[in-house]
Amino acid sequence: MKPAKSSQRAARRARRGQAMVEYSMLNWVLVVALVVGASVKVRWSADKQANVIDLFMEAYQVYYDSYYFVLNLPFP
């Protein structure tokens, strides 16, 4: 015997609701991680203290500069 259409709809709605809860929880974790990462200061060395976002941006700038340095080498 086939299940009723209303039970199929309810099961589908429950799965959709679970996906939305998981999506919302994942977004919440990412936003909290971004806020904490942007606000926590890291003591990188004795004279340098910056937050995690600044450190990642500085590392990306070094990568970017080294990439263009290699591209502009005078070797053919």
Which residue's entry shows tokens 């971004």? 34
pLDDT for 22-54, tens place per residue? 888 999 999 988 888 778 787 877 887 888 778
Q: Give the separation between CA 19 and CA 40, rounded to whole angstroms.
A: 31
Q: Judge if 35 and 55 occupy the same domain.
A: no
In tens, the pLDDT along 51-70 reads: 877 888 889 999 999 988 88
Per-residue pLDDT, 63: 93
**Distance in angstroms (rounded) separating the CA atoms of residues 9 and 14:** 9
Q: By residue range, what is the domain housing residue 19?
A: 1-39
Show Cβ contacts of residue 58 under 8 Å, excluding neighbours closer than 6 positions. 50
Regarding whether 45 and 35 lie in a shared domain, the answer is no
Statement to judge: residues 30 and 50 lie in one domain: no
3-state secondary structure (DSSP) of residue 46 = coil
Counting the structural domains of the chain, the total is 2
